[in-house]
Amino acid sequence: MSATTLRLQGDTSYDVVVGHHLTDRLPALLGDGVVRVAVIHPTAMADRARALRHALDAAGFAAHGIEVPDGETAKTARVAEFCWSVLGQAGFTRSDAVVTLGGGSATDLGGFVAATWLRGVEVVHVPTTLLGMVDAAVGGKTGINTDEGKNLVGSFHHPAGVLCDLSTLETLPRNELVSGMAEVVKCGFIADPEILSIVERSPATAMRVGSEEQRELVERAIQVKLDVVAGDFKETGGAAGHPGREALNYGHTLGHAIERAESYRYRHGAAISIGMVFVAELARLAGRLDDVTAARHADLLSAVGLPTSYDGAPWGDLLASMRLDKKSRGDLLRFVVLEGVARPVVLEGPSTDLLEQAFAAVRPRTPR
């Protein structure tokens, strides 16, 4: 099957290519004038990064490897400083480029390094996880974590292009595939009901690597993000009451608090899944969402193997962490909720009692 090219339209345009064995597309995305290319990758991707560097060398580039820790542990100021040091020692100029290879953490970190080196050099993302393909690699958000929270330091920096090589999913651990489905399902709830229908018709087929359904889900989720970002790149707000880019944070306020509480050992998709069940219940209790759609969240997420309850950090700790969320304004907590499928809105300042009631819905029930 041939590759599919999805394009971000706007002041800055770029292509997201979805298909199999796409390495030969990389030179064209890097463009003319690039001499040096830094491949930023986690330790787990060392073999693939080596092969990618050889391909870049063969195409006439001077490829350098920058190996960083696996997962969220890479997203620190210290690791970013290490990457900047390598770029400096290798003589990277504004006409050179960065390539990220790996999951969402490598994309977030590598994108941030590219955005800040000489105030911005080109970056091409080559995500190797489902989560990276449908979320981190698309949209131009970059970031690192601090002790106070996730992605609190970052910048907006569009990539020159994205290569989503579906063949990399063939060796992806099952739990990583499940984690990525949270962002796919999120796109269904906030914008594209057909995503939900595809998953509900056959969760097993939707999860099967190589299936036409999985590819359609990937392409649909990417298109949702491209459409939202095109209308609101820097998260300043959408039109006609739509929350704009904030809608992509559906379920993320509690999700990020859980990740922080668990020292980022909890998978992103698992945390976001719980966060979506929480905000669905919050919307129901606030009179914004009907019972059936609220219940649909837990049913659909659990069907693909995602958790819908959480028995970890105390509620008070999570609430304090949520107050540092990027959507908050002063002391005012703000949540993206639904008034129906594909009808996201912002709920401002819900009472502490209402929040605690909604959180009770994601606490495991004690057997009688």
Task: Point out the annotated binding site.
Answer: 70-75, 128-129, 141, 150, 168-171, 183, 252, 268
Please, which residues have CB within 8 angstroms of residue 300's CB and are 6 or more apart in sequence? 185, 196, 199, 200
Q: Which of 235, 278, 234 is nearest to 256 (CA)?
A: 278
Buried b / exposed e along 327-343 (16+ C-beta atoms within 10 A): beeeeebbbbbbbebbb
Q: Contact at 8 Å (CB) between 300 and 240?
A: no
Q: How many other CB atoms are found less than 10 A from the CB of residue 320? A: 12
Q: Are 97 and 111 in contact (CB under 8 A)?
A: no
Distances (CA, A) of 104 to 31, 159, 205, 325: 24, 14, 24, 19
SS3 assignment, position 250:
coil
* Residues contributing to the annotated binding site for NAD(+): 70-75, 128-129, 141, 150, 168-171
Bridge partner list, 7: 15
Q: Which residues are annotated as a binding site for Zn(2+)?
A: 183, 252, 268
